Amino acid sequence: MKLNLLKLKRLLPIGLLFITWFLLSATVPTSSSTKENRKRFVGIWEMVVAENESGIELRVPPGYLKFFGKDGSYMFVIVTPEGAFNSQQGSFKVLSEDIYSENIKFSINPNLRNAASKVSYSFLNEDTLQIKGTVNGVPFVEKWKRVKTPVI
């Protein structure tokens, strides 16, 4: 019984985040080319691998989620056993077949607030996204897996 309550306690914040993301990602009219380029990003992604400064891939603990909305918004949320919190949010724009921009409006890291950066991306397959970039002089490489929600 205690284990089920712990699972429920962990899933409740995620469920609330899905509802919030759905409400925030209402369709906004855009040009058809921008809308088509953005379509592959839209959804919920979980970070699974990050490279350290030496280029060594490190597994990321579960719960690092990025929500890309249809309207060009994004939100980076971290879910822990203690609860969930919004780590970063802003907007994104697909610029080409391998570059998109992130405009960070809010971040828990004050050095990232109001930062804008171009990020390289590649879809390794439909459900795996790799991104590389530099924000305020700090390079990063991350792999994200698409979160597939079960039909209820």
Query: Which long-range contacts does 91-100 make (Cβ < 8 Å, 24+ apart)?
Result: 92/38, 92/41, 92/68, 93/34, 93/38, 94/34, 94/37, 94/38, 94/41, 98/122, 100/41
Percent of the chain predicted with pLDDT > 90 = 60
Query: Which pLDDT band holds residue 30 (cuts at 50, 70, 90)?
Result: very low
pTM for this prediction: 0.75
Residue 109 predicted with pLDDT over 50: yes
What residue has token string 């899905």? 18
What residue has token string 């592959």? 40
| Among candidate residues 101, 67, 70, 69, the one with its CA nearest the CA of residue 84 | 67
Residue 33 predicted with pLDDT over 60: no
What distance in Å separates the CA atoms of residue 65 and residue 146, rounded to the nearest whole number?
A: 10
What distance in Å separates the CA atoms of residue 115 and residue 79, rounded to the nearest whole number?
A: 24
Given phi > 0 = left and psi -120 to 50 = alpha, else beta, which region is 43? left
What distance in Å separates the CA atoms of residue 133 and residue 88, rounded to the nearest whole number?
A: 16
